[in-house]
Amino acid sequence: MILVDPAGLEIESDVTNAELSGETLEFITKVHDDTFDWRLTLKDKRHGLLHGSTGEMVIDDQVSKQRSYVQDPAVSRLQSILKVELP
């Protein structure tokens, strides 16, 4: 997963603890000392709604497939790296 901060800096983070239930994937990423809990709900093959949180910060964003990337079998259905803009 690639997170994009307000300055445009891209921060790559591995997806861990992925669990797929229907059209929703829940997973965790870690950036520096922050652990992010995520929930991605697919709307179609290329678009989804992403909800994430760490501490008091909450992220809600619409996302789209950028390119294929597979690491974890539970994530393989998505086959994408998501670009998420951090507040």
pLDDT tens-digit series, residues 44-77: 878 889 899 988 888 888 888 765 544 555 454 4
Average pLDDT in the 36-43 region? 90
Phi first, then psi: what are they for 79, rounded to 5°?
Answer: 45, 55
**The model's pTM:** 0.66
The yes-or-no verdict on residue 80 having pLDDT over 90 is no
Q: Which residue has the higher pLDDT, 58 or 87?
A: 58
The candidate with the shortest Cα–Cα distance to 23, out of 54, 52, 60, 49, is 49
